[in-house]
A and B are shown apart, each in its own frame.
Chain A
Amino acid sequence: MSSHNESILREPLMTGKDITYAQITDDILLPVENKPNKAWWIGFIVACVGASLWVISVGYTFWTGIGAWGLNKTVGWAWDITDFVWWVGIGHAGTLISAVLLLFRQNWRNSINRSAEAMTIFAVICAATYVVAHMGRPWLAYWIFPLPNQFGSLWVNFNSPLVWDAFAISTYFTVSLVFWYCGLLPDIASVRDRATGLRRRIYSIFSFGWNGSVKTWQRFEIVSLILAGISTPLVLSVHTIVSMDFATSVIPGWHTTIFPPYFVAGAIFSGFAMVQTLLLILRKVLNFEHYITMFHIESMNKIIMTTGSIVGVAYLTELFIAWYSGSEYEMYAFANRVAGPYAWAYWAMMTCNVISPQLFWFKKIRTSIPISWVLSIIVNIGMWFERFVIIVTSLHRDYLPSSWAMFYPTWTDVGIFVGSIGLFFVLFLLFLRFLPGIAIAEVKLLLKSSSLQHKTKLVQEGAFPEDQVEFFKGSLEKYDSVSQEDINALRKK
């Protein structure tokens, strides 16, 4: 049945009074069905300025070649690969929320999966642009794929992790897109059936003729479940393979077996931080406070804290193994990270990724919206530095001291990075303008099981013992969308 009774000890996933199915549709479609407000336009214009910086910087790179970047003979990989790994990592949270949390039946994913998946797709688009740009001759980018060619035919080298990466990223992008779009179909149909005229025609094309019959929903659920099942190993494989780009080389600081799990944890860490950054603004600006509640924020902060701690353990393990290995090159690479010319970047990484997430042990901090937002940005900065530290500090001290060099970014390096953030926000804001930012159908499932309204009704009917109701009342205090009046309503019979 759609309305099984959930334990009262579970915190509500939806707050607000007198919510009906119609109201859920109205609330979520408000930004889609109306003209955008000032906040949207300001954000969109700023993002467009950023995106044009990206177009100029990437255009300049394509025109002049990667000599436009600050690379030198010693440091052959720097900002571009840092940014690539940063964006791919951010993308991982979307799949984690939509797939892994679905497999674990975590219903709180229902309210945040849509925007997190959109974030995944746009982040992977940003990441893919770096891969193409760093090839130097982007018009030959298809050489990475095994296509019959005029050289005899000479195939790509499938022993190379860079080729694996091309397969992993393109599979990841395709599967994420398909997963996201399948989930969107019922919601596009909701927009279609409420619209008129040209709007209706356009949404009708994109709704694929969805009608919500029994068989459609049955197959839809199976498809979602299997896509979740195959996306879970896929997402783990993607960052594993990204880490192998480094780990299979013989550069000190890269050649370690800890890289795959360490990179995957870091990816989830940075991805959840980005979801937090976006959702905290989104719920305020679009009035989604009743759907994306304090429970969601707190849960994500707990994940950030956990993965941040895993990343911290990985950093310490790296240091220990560098010493324990007895390899002088490995030891030097890490001594150089900790105390060399890039020590500031190393300690920025340590502070942002290991120390600051530990603040989330305090409930006051993890349920505070402004602090959560600031800390989520700090995590994103820290994770950018992590990749920078791994890549540049390992490369800039070559085996030959005569080749030792420093890396200084040019305006093109900076422009591509800042510009890609603009590109990301252009895509994300367009998504919020034209498609529902929350999965409407999935949130409707919560109304009669996990909403505060439903739980209040059950409490008023006396369905739960007194001590459990007290516990439930206590857990409501952190919610910013629950008033004292709502809590007192639990007492009415």
Chain B
Amino acid sequence: MSNTKYILGSFADPDDLMHGIEKLQANNISIYDCFTPMPIHGIEAKLGVKPSRLPIAAFCFGALGTTLGFSLLYYTMAYDWPMNIGGKPSLPLPNFVPVTFEVTILLCALGMVATFFFRNHLFPGRAPRVMDLRATDDRFILAVDARENTDHALVDSLLKEAGAVEVKYNERKYVSYE
């Protein structure tokens, strides 16, 4: 048994990568992940990745922003220290629209992006878990777990048939620690 942990098919073209996914799936070989320098439309559907639930998070944070923004205005203007400004009402709803709106947008944006960073473990200084350094440049990487899929020769030939420029056998999961 070799020490190979991951087999990487390195493609030069996104269409070849999609082709590779189809070939592997037709042969019941599970795909660990793909790493690409740009978003590839339709790849999630092909890999069976569920749609992101970030829009729900965004909506919740937005709703929280609306509530907090309006509460701030209500508390300061109408409850804590109502002021008589030219005899106008101390709860002038139209005047509350701009600030409530801005706080909604602010919380929606910050909350959604924070959720995105949290779920993908993105934060400043995180060691990049990269399997192939060219995956952010010009190569489309298809990673197969070598322990789960033991027929390495088949994986190799399928990847090459699909148009992989290079097939790598990585003994470490991530190269970026080296």
Contact = CB atoms under 8 A, between A and B. Distances in A.
B105 A209 contact: no
Contact of A25 (B13, B117, B122, B138): B138
A233 interface: yes
A2 B125 contact: no
Contacts of A445: 38-39
Interface string A147-182: 000001111111101011001100100110011001
Given A25-B138, A146-B72, A154-B81, A167 B35 contact: no
B151 interface: no
Contacts of B130: 193, 211
Given A158-B77, A159-B92, A217-B39, A208 B117 contact: yes
Interface in A195-216: 204-216
B125 to A, nearest CB: 5
B77 A226 contact: no
A3 interface: yes
Interface stretch (A111-119, A125-133, A184-192, A324-332): A184-192
A185 B120 CA distance: 13
B138 A174 contact: no
A445 to B, nearest CB: 5
B120 A216 contact: yes
Contact of B99 (A167, A223, A234, A444): A167
A204 B127 contact: yes
Interface in A452-479: none
Contact of A190 (B37, B41, B83, B125): B37
A179 B110 CA distance: 10
A25 B34 CA distance: 20
A193 B133 contact: yes
A100 interface: no
Contact of B77 (A3, A155, A161): A155
A241 interface: yes
Interface in B63-116: 72-73, 76-77, 80-81, 83, 85, 88, 92, 95-96, 98-99, 101-103, 105-106, 108-110, 112-113, 116
B76 A189 contact: no
A172 to B, nearest CB: 8
Nearest to A213: B33
A158 B137 contact: no
Contacts of B43: 214
Contacts of A25: 37, 137-138
A42 interface: no
Contact of B121 (A163, A192, A209, A237): A209
A158 B99 contact: yes
Given A190-B136, A209-B128, A157 B105 contact: no
B60 interface: no
B79 to A, nearest CB: 10
Nearest to B86: A159
Nearest to A215: B49
Contacts of A192: 128, 136
A237 B76 contact: no
A250 interface: no
Interface residues of B, number: 71
B12 interface: yes
B95 A219 contact: no
A441 B108 CA distance: 25
Contact of B134 (A193, A211, A237): A193
A312 B27 CA distance: 65
Interface string B20-58: 000000000000011111111111100101011011001
B113 A178 contact: yes
A1 B98 CA distance: 41
A400 to B, nearest CB: 22
Contact of A226 (B49, B55, B133): B55
B54 A158 contact: no
B144 to A, nearest CB: 14
Contacts of B137: 21-22, 25, 190, 193-194
Nearest to B122: A208
A209 B127 contact: yes
Most buried by A among B42, B120, B135: B120
15 contacts: A2-B40, A2-B41, A146-B72, A193-B176, A204-B127, A209-B122, A209-B127, A211-B35, A215-B49, A217-B36, A218-B39, A220-B39, A230-B58, A230-B105, A448-B13
Given A189-B128, A234-B105, 8 more contacts: A1-B14, A1-B18, A158-B77, A171-B106, A218-B51, A233-B105, A237-B102, A441-B37
Interface of A: 1-3, 20-22, 25, 146, 152-159, 161, 163-164, 167-168, 171, 174-175, 178-179, 182, 185-186, 189-190, 192-194, 204-223, 226-227, 230-231, 233-234, 237, 241, 244, 440-442, 444-445, 448
